[in-house]
Amino acid sequence: MKLAFFGDVVGRPGRAAVNEHLPSVRAQLGLDFVVVNAENAAGGFGLTEAIANEFFGAGADCLTLGDHAWDQREALTYITREPRLLRPVNYPAASRAPGQGSNLFVLPDGRRVGVIQAQGTVFMKQLLDNPFGAVDEALDAMPLGVVADAVIVDIHCEATSEKMAMGHHCDGRASVVVGSHTHVPTADHMILSGGTAFQSDAGMCGDYDSVIGMAKDNSVRRFSTQLPGRRYEPALGEGTLCGLYVETDDETGLAKQVCPIRVGGRLAQILPDA
């Protein structure tokens, strides 16, 4: 199976990169299933139903969120109607968070893809439940090669150590574990010893002439003066479609190939061989 995960979509340039490039990338690579992290798509903060529908129309099969899940209040009700939209699986039960953090999707040919979205706890403002236990429960509900033909885990957190630990924790039980949230593509894409593809961060879909997708002048001023500045706003240059491609073994669901995807914008262009 051919899978792709695209990192955090930031504002208008990120949306344009997805809507412009994803249809052709999906066709060129013959992708069977696409996940897009969309938690920063609406002006850098949250997701709206209209934007989600654009992404589904461009070729996304599932959208994941993160710590900005509820920045757009309509997401609180939209997620209850849209099973293709996932929030962190490790919300405390007492929070009664709407929606779900994992789902099993059935492709037209009958193959099944599980998607799990978890949020880390290290250096994160929101302190959710331990993501490792929550991911274990979700993986147990869709064992790879038994219930699911492929499983994708989006680990949304600040610390690369926590992301890497999750990769090893899921090794052999997921097709791919990929990090989101820090908006910078890491150079550590690999297949772990147990057969799970991994990358610490897929990078963002957005304008890289920026500070993690936000207008650079305001960010530089805040860092250099240590004074509050204007509200953060997305940079508005050309965006890059940035993510990870994984091809799995049809029998085991484990990874055979892993490669970054970068199309458009300022970064060096990378597109795996179909």
Q: Which of 12, 28, 80, 15 is nearest to 261 (CA)?
A: 28
Nearest to 151 by CA among 79, 82, 81, 249: 249
* Nearest in space to 20 (alpha carbons), one of 182, 195, 205, 194: 205
- Residue 272 clears pLDDT 90, i.e. is over it: yes
76 or 273: which carries more pLDDT confidence? 76
Percent of the chain at pLDDT exceeding 70: 100
122 pLDDT higher than 70: yes
Report helix, strand or coil for 60: coil
Two tokens at 163?
A: 């992301």
Pairing of strands 150-156, 112-119: parallel
Res 58: pLDDT: 98
Cross-strand bridge partners of residue 147 = none
pTM of the model: 0.97
Contact assessment for residue 9 and residue 41, using Cβ atoms and an 8 Å cutoff: yes
Percent of the chain's residues with pLDDT above 90: 97
For 83-114, how does the pLDDT look when each residue is reduced to its tens digit (9 = 90+)? 999 999 999 999 999 999 999 999 999 999 99
Residue 274 confidence (pLDDT) above 70: no
> Using the 8-state DSSP alphabet, how is residue 171 labeled?
B
Q: Annotated active-site positions, please?
A: 68
- Nearest Cα neighbor of 177 from 18, 79, 168 is 168
73-79 mean pLDDT: 97
Assess contact for 126 and 90: CB atoms under 8 A: no
Q: Find how far residue 187's CA is from the centre of its chain.
A: 17
For residues 139 and 151, is the Cβ–Cβ distance under 8 A? Answer: yes
Q: What are the angstrom distances between the C-alpha of 228 and each of 71, 190, 212, 218?
A: 21, 40, 18, 9
Q: Looking at residues 209-215, what average pLDDT do you find? A: 97
Evaluate whether 232 touches 35 at the Cβ level (below 8 Å): no
* pLDDT of 159 above 90: yes
Domains of the chain: 2-263 (3.60.21.10)
| pLDDT value of residue 200 | 98
Amino acid identity for residue 82 in this structure: E
Longest Cα–Cα distance in the chain: 57
DSSP 8-state symbol, 61: S
Which DSSP helix (H) or strand (E) runs through 220? Answer: helix 216-225
